[in-house]
């Protein structure tokens, strides 16, 4: 299969690295010529292109790994091979998917996807095929998608090392992602920014603070777009978190040990169930 990956940042770079050795003909598109040269030197792509107009016309699968605001523009300004599939790695779906479906050629299919395997750092330097191993992947089923195309993409992403591939509607994707991805980032940012910096904090932390704030090292351009384009779902998730924090805060204020212990027992049970579902 001829595959072109558009955007060789941390996600796109991970795709080409994971594809190496899988008997596909892989090409890369990126505005950074040094990145393209590195990917080619490493044997991850056969050739690199700054624009990609010609190679896109020959590709059986095009994986677009651009910021949300750039995906539609790329689709509108490029001609894709008839009978081919386009997919993406955008973290929100509802706001652009119907529009994307309306502008692509009727002989080209868009099967949207979301690899749940991001990195807190950005750029090809931090790309790694290992990040896909055992990770979750979400495929978006749109009414215009053919069953066989969804099945093909399931097989494809599984071949890259993804352990669990789930199929959701655009709305269901955005709702669960607001909770499992965007809310944790909002919490991490708020937690680390709430530090009064009275002390040299780094000298007093353990694994709990380190783990909770790892994703506070955040790509500000990308995550601003993600937060705004999924605002309704994210605000609902933030409200749910605030409600639980208010209960905990009230229990501490009133020294209500019964409520506090119930919360701890429930959270422990849910965490164990979460770990069991990953196996």
Q: What is the CATH number of the domain that holds 252?
A: 1.10.3660.10
Across 235-259, average pLDDT: 98
Per the structure block, which two tokens stand in for 92?
Answer: 């929100």
- Tell me whether residue 52 is exposed, middle or buried, using C-beta atoms within 10 angstroms of its C-beta: 0 to 12, 13 to 18, 19 or more: buried
**Same domain, residue pair 163 and 189:** no
Burial of 161-195, coded b for 16+ CB within 10 Å and e otherwise, reads: bbeebebbebebbbbebbbebbbbbbbbbeebeee
**Same domain, residue pair 119 and 45:** yes
Say how many C-beta atoms besides its own lie within 10 A of residue 72's C-beta.
18
Residue-averaged pLDDT of the chain:
94
Supply the range of the domain harboring residue 244: 173-277
Q: The pTM is what?
A: 0.90
> N- to C-terminal Cα distance for the chain?
31
What tens digit of pLDDT does each residue of 6-53 get? 999 999 999 999 999 999 999 999 999 999 999 999 999 999 999 999
**Same domain, residue pair 34 and 75:** yes
**Same domain, residue pair 164 and 177:** no
In the chain, the number of structural domains is 2
**Same domain, residue pair 11 and 149:** yes
pLDDT band for 137, please (50, 70, 90 cuts). very high
Say how many C-beta atoms besides its own lie within 10 A of residue 103's C-beta.
10
**Same domain, residue pair 207 and 263:** yes
pLDDT band for 277, please (50, 70, 90 cuts). confident
**Same domain, residue pair 161 and 202:** no
Say how many C-beta atoms besides its own lie within 10 A of residue 245's C-beta.
11
Nearest to 15 by CA among 132, 122, 112: 132
Count how many Cα atoms sit within 13 Å of the Cα of residue 255 in the half-sphere of its side chain: 0
Say if strands 47-49 and 109-110 run parallel, antiparallel, or are unpaired.
Answer: unpaired
**Same domain, residue pair 192 and 271:** yes
**Same domain, residue pair 103 and 205:** no
pLDDT band for 276, please (50, 70, 90 cuts). confident
**Same domain, residue pair 118 and 225:** no
The predicted structure's pLDDT at residue 204: 95
**Same domain, residue pair 60 and 91:** yes
Contacts (Cβ under 8 Å, ≥6 apart) of 104? 75, 80, 86, 110
pLDDT at residue 278 above 80?
A: no
**Same domain, residue pair 83 and 153:** yes
Say how many C-beta atoms besides its own lie within 10 A of residue 12's C-beta.
24
Q: What is the CATH number of the domain that holds 76?
A: 3.40.50.720
Last residue of a domain, one of 168, 194, 224: 168
């Amino acid at each position: 299969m001829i595959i072109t990956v558009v955007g060789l940042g941390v996600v796109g770079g991970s795709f080409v690295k994971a594809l190496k050795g899988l008997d596909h003909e892989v090409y890369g598109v990126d505005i950074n010529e040094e990145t393209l040269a590195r990917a080619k030197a490493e044997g991850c792509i056969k050739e690199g292109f700054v624009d990609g107009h010609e190679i896109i016309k020959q590709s059986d699968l095009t994986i677009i790994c651009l910021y949300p605001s750039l995906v539609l523009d790329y689709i509108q300004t490029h001609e894709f091979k008839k009978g081919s599939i386009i997919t993406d790695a955008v973290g929100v779906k509802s706001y652009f998917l119907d529009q994307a479906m309306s502008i692509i050629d009727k002989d080209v299919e868009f099967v949207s996807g979301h690899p749940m395997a991001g990195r807190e750092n950005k750029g090809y330097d931090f790309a790694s095929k290992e990040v896909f191993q055992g990770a979750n992947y979400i495929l978006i089923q749109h009414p215009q998608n053919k069953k066989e195309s969804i099945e093909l993409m399931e097989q494809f992403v599984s071949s890259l090392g993804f352990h669990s591939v789930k199929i959701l509607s655009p709305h269901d994707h955005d709702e669960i992602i607001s909770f499992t991805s965007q809310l944790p980032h909002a919490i991490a940012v708020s937690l680390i920014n709430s530090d009064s910096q009275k002390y040299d904090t780094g000298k007093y932390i353990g694994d709990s603070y380190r783990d909770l704030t790892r994703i506070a090292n955040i790509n500000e351009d990308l995550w601003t777009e993600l937060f705004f384009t999924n605002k309704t779902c994210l605000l609902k998730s933030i409200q749910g978190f605030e409600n639980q924090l208010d209960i905990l805060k009230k229990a501490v204020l009133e020294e209500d040990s019964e409520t506090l212990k119930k919360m701890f027992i429930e959270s422990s049970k849910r965490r164990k169930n979460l770990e069991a579902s990953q196996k």
